[in-house]
Chain A
Amino acid sequence: MSMKLLMGNEAIARGAIEAGLNFAAAYPGTPSSEIIGTLAEWAEEFEYYVEWSVNEKVALEVAAGAAYAGAYSLVAMKQVGLNVASDPLMSLAYIGIKGALVVVVADDPGPHSSQTEQDTRTFAKFAKLPVFDPSSPEEALMMTKDAFELSHRYGIPVFLRPTTRVCHATAGIRFSAVEKNQPEGFVKDSKWVIFPRLSYVRHQWLEEQQLKLSREFDSNRWNYIQSGKKIGILAGGVSVLYVREAAAILGIQPAILKIGNPYPLPTGKISEFLDQVEEVVVVEELDPVLEEGLIAVAGQKGFTGKIHGKISGLLPRAGEYSIALIKKVLANILGMPDSEEITPESGNEKAPDLPVRPPVLCAGCSHRASFYAVKRATKNANAIYTGDIGCYTLGNAPPLSMVDTCLCMGAGVTIAQGLKRVEPDRPIFAFIGDSTFFHTGIPGIINAVYNNHPVKIVILDNSTTAMTGHQPHPGTGKKAAGTAGEIIDPVQVVKACGVKFVETTNPLDLKSAEAVIRRAMEFQGPAAIVMRAPCANTFKPVRRFRIDREICSDCGRCLRELGCPAFYREDSGVKAALQIGPACHGCGLCSQICPLGAIKAE
């Protein structure tokens, strides 16, 4: 059978199934989302339970509960999701689990699609939990299986920490047989109830496991030395592959210690490596986790060679690594010229300036209409607009310029309240998406009511988790595997939180939307407006708009105000007439602001 091309995230899903998965939960977040998405697709064929939970803390807790009953359980999230899930995680390290619990946390060096470049290996060290750090989709599959086995044997949660270039890379994968795990069931025991006295005992136990794990990692298949010449390279994750390719391009054969378990570090293996080399380069993206570990071992055993890495200032802590960077660093250390290759640009005249192409709200996006309606209703009001995490963060771009702050999930609603106390005379609008509302928005809304912060909360309800790939959420009534669930209406939730002004409007009807916003502004107290219109990517357009050239005066107002990507001019000269291209999704917002009525539905 030929190999099937799988994304790293799909390979992780497959690995979990082969390991005997019973239970999986997650909240979506790039680059981790496809793990549960894939498990949801395959759920019918294999017998496990899969859900989109409302946030990462909930996901980890439900997955832990399943593992308490003996299930082989998986929870997935992006690195910042682990911040949300950190409360249960820290205690769970002490309490432990039955069955197995694999915590997949996808890191995002770059970052490509994240608020921070935090390193989950550092988090694992803090939580004292073991980590598998794959370099490729193939390894991700095998490590997932090993992580389940290790978790079961030690009775503790185990991290799998892929990065973007593993999650969103693909490779040919061969499938193996699927194991079955029959959960034994929950057995009552005082060990499941955390009390300070138990915590002390379990802390001691957890420290003992660190040593056992470190010894085990000295000899497992994920931490190995590839022998070579005097210079040694210690590397982990996708950086190992960059090191191999850079070395091949330079024509050198360094000794390479590949670390697949960055915590607890296989210090015995590192010591063995130091015996074989004269100097070491440590190559790892983000935090110097391997480097600090190596320096400690080197210090203990009196290694006198040079140690190059982030601490020596040679390699950066921020951003993604590349073959070019590593090639340059190695050439520099070895005193080789970083061969000035003949490049395609050599001898060419200066390259023309390229267009800036930032990601933008899609044509027909209802968020554009929501932002625009609020912008119009608050014109000259000196308002502040707090934003949140999702597609609608893109509302910060001109010409809308409607996101003044963005911090983390749920913070739009709460940052707004602090701002309001200090700036009581300025209207403060907090934008939050529907999925984010369920994730961490609700406590902030209760706080606004309880402490009477008169902020105006705009819930952008497009009936999906759009940014991460259209996952369902509690407001949609659809569940991960496609079956129907309860629909939880944000309107009812906000009312139940005690908000006295709650109105729903369709943002694509600009006049009504503006009127609702004005009423909300006049209301004395916290107010909520639910802007409800489906994500343009979830339905086919039923109409398109075009500009009637007979009527259009080419004033450019539609484009200047809305910045919709469906508008274009035939060439970059300003004289060419403005047109609406085939990307138009038929929202009709532009037709509502044309002073001449020149924009019409086809």
Chain B
Amino acid sequence: MADKLDILIAGVGGQGTVLASRVLAQAALNNGLLARTAETIGMAQREGSVQSHVRIGMPDFGPLIPEYGADVLLGFEPAEAQRACRLIKPSGFGLVNIHPVRPVTVTLGTSPYPLEEIQQYLCALPVKILFINAFELATVAGNFRTINSVMLGALSSTGLLPVKAADIKDVLLEMLPERVRGVNDRAFELGKEALR
């Protein structure tokens, strides 16, 4: 557990990366740590590539993580994890949802999606990478849109965060409307157990 931690969240617009970064930052603040984030908001949110930067314990710097500076890569989607790997430290850790979101360019056949090669590439990085099927766990929890809660649960079980899993879950549930708290609670717990 470090007091300074840079977390890069990579995903696809609509997967809930913004909520995930806000939850991590607010949980850090609640624990007396400094935190700042930067997110992709606007046009790219329409199913485009998005990245959220979370910086915990960095006082005087900006919200963007420098190249090769991220301690943790939280990949909500395999291709987006690969796209973001320029930002991760060689000694870093990656947690990647293995379930792909195929853009319509792939379905139309105008763009490739070599899932296996991407997976192999990520595994070959000198970074410790764990894969998780967050889509499946989110579906088990009751809604495929809870991938972000699964990922947060899984990340919070790694012991890398300077904040307890229970604190992260509290902030997550507080930020969500009441009607979806149950399903996100289940998703978080499933994520937390998945890496055991």
Contacts and interface: CB of A to CB of B under 8 A. Distances in A.
B66 A565 contact: no
Given A242-B62, A344-B92, A572-B113, A359 B13 contact: yes
Given A245-B66, A359-B13, A344 B43 contact: no
A567 B45 contact: no
Contacts of A549: none
Contacts of A113: 42-44
B29 A559 contact: no
Nearest to B106: A355
A341 B42 contact: no
B103 A170 contact: no
Contact of A5 (B13, B35, B69, B105): B35
Nearest to B117: A352
Given A169-B63, A343-B68, A560-B108, A30 B41 contact: yes
A343 B90 contact: yes
Interface stretch (B78-86, B158-166, B186-194): B78-86
Nearest to A343: B68
A244 B61 contact: yes
Contact of B36 (A171, A354, A391): A171
B115 A572 contact: yes
Interface in A328-354: 341-349, 351-354
B104 A360 contact: yes
A569 B22 contact: no
A355 B108 contact: no
A551 interface: no
Contacts of B34: 172
A351 B82 contact: yes
B43 A567 contact: no
Contact of A323 (B66, B83, B124, B126): B66
Given A165-B38, A323-B64, A170 B112 contact: no
A249 interface: yes
B42 A31 contact: yes
B196 to A, nearest CB: 27
A477 to B, nearest CB: 24
Interface string B25-67: 1100110101111111111111111000000000011111011
Contacts of B88: 344
A362 interface: yes
Interface in B109-134: 109-115, 117-118, 121, 124-127
Of A2, A351, A563, A564, most B-chain CB atoms within 10 Å = A351
B31 to A, nearest CB: 8
A353 B114 contact: yes
B106 A169 contact: no
Contact of A582 (B12, B21, B107, B144): B144
Nearest to B13: A359
A341 B102 CA distance: 33
A168 B41 contact: yes
B169 interface: no
A568 interface: yes
Contacts of A574: 109
B63 A170 contact: yes
A344 B47 contact: no
B116 to A, nearest CB: 9
Contact of B61 (A31, A245, A568): A245
Contact of A358 (B62, B90, B105): B105
Nearest to B139: A582
A112 interface: yes
Contact of A324 (B67, B82, B92, B144): B67
A341 B92 CA distance: 14
Contacts of B118: 352, 354
B46 A359 contact: yes
A212 interface: no
B26 A112 contact: no
A388 to B, nearest CB: 14
B123 to A, nearest CB: 10
B44 A244 contact: no
A3 interface: yes
B6 to A, nearest CB: 11
Contacts of B109: 574
A530 interface: no
Nearest to B118: A352
Nearest to A169: B63
Contacts of B106: 355, 569, 572
Interface of B: 12-13, 21-22, 25-26, 29-30, 32, 34-49, 60-64, 66-69, 79-80, 82-83, 85-86, 88-90, 92, 102-115, 117-118, 121, 124-127, 144
29 contacts: A2-B32, A136-B62, A165-B38, A165-B62, A168-B38, A170-B63, A171-B35, A241-B62, A242-B62, A245-B61, A322-B67, A342-B90, A344-B88, A344-B126, A345-B85, A345-B86, A349-B121, A352-B121, A353-B112, A353-B114, A354-B118, A355-B103, A357-B47, A359-B44, A360-B103, A467-B43, A565-B104, A572-B102, A574-B109
Interface of A: 2-5, 30-31, 112-113, 135-137, 165, 168-172, 238, 241-242, 244-246, 248-249, 322-324, 327, 341-349, 351-362, 391, 394, 398-399, 467-468, 559-560, 563-565, 567-569, 571-572, 574, 578, 582
Q: Which 10 A-B pairs have the closest CB atoms?
A: A241-B62, A113-B42, A169-B63, A359-B48, A352-B117, A359-B46, A323-B66, A30-B42, A572-B113, A5-B26
Given A245-B61, A342-B126, A353-B114, 12 more contacts: A112-B40, A170-B21, A171-B63, A324-B67, A344-B89, A344-B92, A348-B125, A351-B121, A353-B112, A394-B46, A563-B108, A568-B102
